[in-house]
Amino acid sequence: MKRKIITGIIIVLCFLLQTTVFDALSFSHIKPNLLIIVTASFGFMRGKKSGMFVGFICGLLSDMAFGNILGFDGIIFTLIGYGNGFFHRIFFDDDIKLPLALIGISDFLYGVVVYLTAFLLQGDFRFPYYLLHVILPELVYTIVITLVLYQIILYINKKLTKEEQRSASKFV
């Protein structure tokens, strides 16, 4: 129960940071996608189910704040959380290369899916422009923020895991 409450707090804090602080710190309307960081992190740290749950909640929050269609981001974020959950078995706390790569790939795929559904289907065929001016700058900004935010999420996850193991050993 404690993990669910803290996960909810992390999601809400990152959503608020993304919509307020990083909105003010945007570079030419480019800001990091903190909800992708949270979704991907919970996916490879906790597994597919946790990644899907966190992804769905993050996606719905993103839909309510930025989207035109309720559920569009919810589906994308759920799939991102599920996809990152496949890497749960090869995830090691000490190695930051895998999380950076997975978060980068997740953000890139999110940008491509948004382009395909929001622009290409409306007849906008300027993918190289969108790639160079939106997707890649957001990817770089997200990875820079990941270096800090991921460490915080990892620390919280380690503390909660230790506490869960201690309480589980009391019942044995």
The answer to whether position 136 is within a domain reads yes
**58 and 15 Cβ atoms separated by less than 8 Å:** yes
Q: What are residue 30's DSSP bridge partners?
A: 27
The answer to whether position 132 is within a domain reads yes
- The pLDDT value recorded for residue 171 is 66
What global pTM score does this model have? Answer: 0.93
At how many degrees (to 10) do helices 97-114 and 34-46 cross?
130
Cα three-residue angle 3-89-165, rounded to 5 degrees: 40
Residue 75: which domain range? 2-160
| Total number of domains constituting the chain | 1
The answer to whether position 171 is within a domain reads no
Convert the pLDDT of each residue in 140-172 to its tens digit.
999 999 999 999 999 999 999 999 888 877 765
The answer to whether position 137 is within a domain reads yes
